[in-house]
Chain A
Amino acid sequence: QQPVQSPQAVILREGEDAVINCSSSKALYSVHWYRQKHGEAPVFLMILLKGGEQKGHEKISASFNEKKQQSSLYLTASQLSYSGTYFCGTEIRDNYGQNFVFGPGTRLSVLP
């Protein structure tokens, strides 16, 4: 039930755009996006809820297709500080109730 993230890794030059995708085989109730830099804790980027509500940073955008159980994170005009591993976290319901399952991560490297 772990969501699939694509691509696994991407290398960009400063100023270029990137899209990171997250898809699940389970019905999703919300999707969260986090960025983690090496040796640091994950940092919140965005939450997308069923029904279209979003909470997040102004410079980050994302979409959530509830029917396809997919979400995409859009990084535009990338900066060096965008480098890190991006995780999607998906809220699902299973035998244990409300569960939260992370994807394996997408490693993003932004070069000068």
Chain B
Amino acid sequence: KAGVTQTPRYLIKTRGQQVTLSCSPISGHRSVSWYQQTPGQGLQFLFEYFSETQRNKGNFPGRFSGRQFSNSRSEMNVSTLELGDSALYLCASSLAGITDTQYFGPGTRLTVL
């Protein structure tokens, strides 16, 4: 069974731009969660999508948004990028949601200049 895949793996953007990251879950998984990991703040939960609906949301500003498609693939968008958005963005898929076993993808390393 293929694991969670994320594209692109690396990305460099400048302040003010927007970016879209993609996550393909394990086949059969309907939940996709997104996390931001930085050396200073550690791992932080962004939001969770289940069957195309945002079900849970962390404490991030509205510049961070996401969506999920009918095939469970998910995208995360960050608008008006700030230097502090530089981070490793991880997505995880699971059968039932954030209370179930989560399988993480390799992450997208975003650098904002």
Contact = CB atoms under 8 A, between A and B. Distances in A.
A44 B45 contact: no
Given A41-B106, A55-B101, A96 B90 contact: no
Contact of B104 (A41, A96, A98): A41
22 contacts: A2-B42, A30-B99, A42-B104, A43-B104, A47-B100, A91-B98, A96-B57, A96-B58, A98-B56, A98-B98, A99-B45, A99-B56, A99-B58, A99-B59, A100-B33, A100-B98, A101-B45, A102-B35, A102-B42, A102-B45, A103-B42, A105-B42
B33 to A, nearest CB: 7
Interface of B, helix, strand, loop or mixed by DSSP: strand
Contacts, number: 61
Interface of A: 2, 29-30, 32, 34, 40-44, 47, 49, 55, 87, 89, 91, 96-105
B103 interface: yes
Contacts of B90: 41-42
Contacts of B58: 96, 99-100
Interface residues of B, number: 23
Interface string B74-113: 0000000000000000100000001111111111000000
